[in-house]
Amino acid sequence: MSEKRIKSALISVYYKEGLEEIVRTLDKLEIKIYSTGGTFDFIRDIGIAAETVESLTTYPSILGGRVKTLHPSVFGGILARRDNPEDAEQLIKYSIPEIDLVIVDLYPFEKTVGSVDDEGEIIEKIDIGGISLIRAAAKNFKDVLVVSGREQYLRLLTLLNEKKGMTLQEDRKFFAAEAFKTSSNYDTAIFRYFNRSAGIEVFRESINTSYPLRYGENPHQKGIFFGDQDKLFDKLHGREISYNNFLDIDSAVGLIDEFSETTYIIIKHNNACGVASRPDPLDAWKDALACDPVSAYGGVIVVNVPVGEEEAVEIDKIFFEIIIAPEYSGKALDILRQKKNRIILRRKKKAGNPYYFRSLLDGVLWQERDLSTELAADMKAVTLKVPTVNEIEDLVFANKIVKHSKSNAIVLAKNKQLCASGIGQTSRVDALKQAVEKARSFGFDLKGSVMASDAFFPFADCVEIAHKAGITAVVQPGGSVRDQDSIDYCSANGIAMVFTGKRHFKH
C-alpha cells in the first residue's frame, strides 16, 4: 500500500527558523518526536514533548558532537522495510522504533568556506550524521518521508495539513529526489574545496538555484538559467530576462570590466557595436551610440559610472532592451522606467567564476577564462615607426574590444572610440574589409586610426589594406611564420606595429 501514516519523526536541524510551526503541527497530529541537542532544547522550550535520540541509542553525543545519530537504533528505524518480515522481526528483537519522517538540514559548509580561511573550522562544517540520515531516509522512500532543508518546510506543512499525517509514495519519492539534490550538491561543494589543492581533473558542478526562462535561444526551445542573478544585480524594472538577454549581459559586463575610465558600451548579439571612453558620461554615451546607431537598436547598454538625468534623457531616445549601471539618479530612473518592458539592472558586484565551460559532443569543454589584458607595457614595437602616446592609448583601447569580439575579429578605433569591427568572419581579410566598409558607412575618417586583431596575420595583405584605409598603428599577438612580411610592409609604409604575444580567439 503506497499510503502511509506518519507516526514518528526524527528532527535534527542546524537552522531553527520556520521549525516551530512544523513541530506544533506534528504534535497536533499526535506524531511522536525524537530529537537531538539544540533542536531538542528548541522543541522543549516551545512546550512540545519530545524524546532525545540518546534515549534510543543509550549513548550520549560524543567526540565534540561529531557522533550523535550514527547508531543502529536510529538508522534501523529509518531503513527498515515495513513490508519485509525479517526487518520487522529485527526491529522487535533489538527494540528499535520505526521512524517515518526525518527532518534534517546540514552544516553550512559552503557559507563557511566563503567566510573563513581556517581549515579546521571549515572541516568541522562537513556534516556526517545529517547527510547519512538524509541518504538513508531517501533510500527508503517507500516507507519514509525526508525533508532535507528549510526551503521544503512550506511543502511539508501543506502536506501535513491537507492529508492529516498521511503520505503517498509519490509524495515521498518527490522529497527523496529533493534529498538527493541536497546531498549531491553538498558533496560537490566539499569535493571542490579539497580539489583546490588536489587538482584532480574531473568535472563537478552543482547549482541548486534555477531561473526558468520564457524560452531558450529560440521560441521552440526550452531554457533555464541556473544561478543566482540576485547576487550580481538588482533588477529595478522591466520584464523577465531572456536566454539571449543573459548572453548579452555576460558579454556586456565582461567588456566593461576592462575599463577604468568612464565608458559606455552597446552590445548586440554578444559583440560590441558601440564603445567610447570620455571624461564626461554624456559625451561617452553620444560617442558610443555614434559608432553604429543602427545596430544599437534593441541592444544592451552598460556603463561603469552612475547614470544621471542628462544621459537618461538621451538614452531614452532609442529603443534598447537592457541597461546596466552601478547606480542611477532618481530622475534618471523615472525617465528610463517610462517603457514598461525595458530591463534596468543595478550591478552589485563582479562575477567571480575563474573558468568557463560549455557542453558539446555528449561531454564538457572546460577552460580558464581569458583574464589577460595587455597594457602599454605589454606592447612590443616591432617596426621602424614607434606608436605615439595617443596611438598607444588607442591600441590598448582597441585590443580590449577585440578580445571580447567573436573570431575572426578586427577592431578599428580612434580617440578611444570604436569606429567599427569585423567579427565572426572565416577570413581575417574579410573581417578587416567589413570593418573598413562599416566605418566609412557611418562617416568615420579612418586616417590616424588604429587596428587590433585577435590573432596574427598569416600574410601582409591585412596591413596593406589597413594602410590604404588610413590606419597608422596596429596591434596583434604575432606568432606567424611570416610575421616579417607584415613587419616589413609596415616599416616601408610608415605604420607602427606592436606585438603582445597573446592571442584572443573567442568562439
Q: Please say whether the beta carbons of 19 and 13 come within 8 A.
A: yes
What CA–CA distance (Å, rounded) separates 36 from 50? 10
Distance of CA 383 to the CA centre of its chain: 43
DSSP summary character for residue 348: -
Query: H-type helices in 296-380, by residue range?
Result: 309-315, 330-336
The secondary structure of 28-92, three-state, reads HCCCEEEECHHHHHHHHHCCCCCEECHHHHCCCCECCCCECCCCHHHHHHHHCCCCCHHHHHHHH
Active site residues: 139, 269
Angle at 194 between CA 193 and CA 199, to 5 degrees: 110
Residue corresponding to grid cell 518592458: 341
Regarding beta strands 450-453 and 473-476, do their DSSP bridges make them parallel or antiparallel, or are they unpaired? parallel
Taking residue 242's Cβ as centre, other Cβ atoms within 10 Å add up to 19
Regarding beta strands 418-422 and 410-413, do their DSSP bridges make them parallel or antiparallel, or are they unpaired? antiparallel
Contact residues for 345 (Cβ-Cβ < 8 A; gap 6+): 233, 234, 235, 236, 249, 322, 323, 324, 325
* HSE, side-chain direction, 13 A CA sphere, residue 428: 21
Q: Please say whether the beta carbons of 477 and 501 come within 8 A.
A: yes
Distance of CA 70 to the CA centre of its chain: 37
| Of residues 301, 280, 274, 295, the one with CA closest to residue 418 | 274
Helix 129-139 × helix 72-79 angle, to 10° = 30
What CA–CA distance (Å, rounded) separates 179 from 476? 52
Q: Please say whether the beta carbons of 13 and 103 come within 8 A.
A: yes
Q: How far from 181 is each of 16, 156, 197, CA to CA, in Å?
A: 21, 17, 26
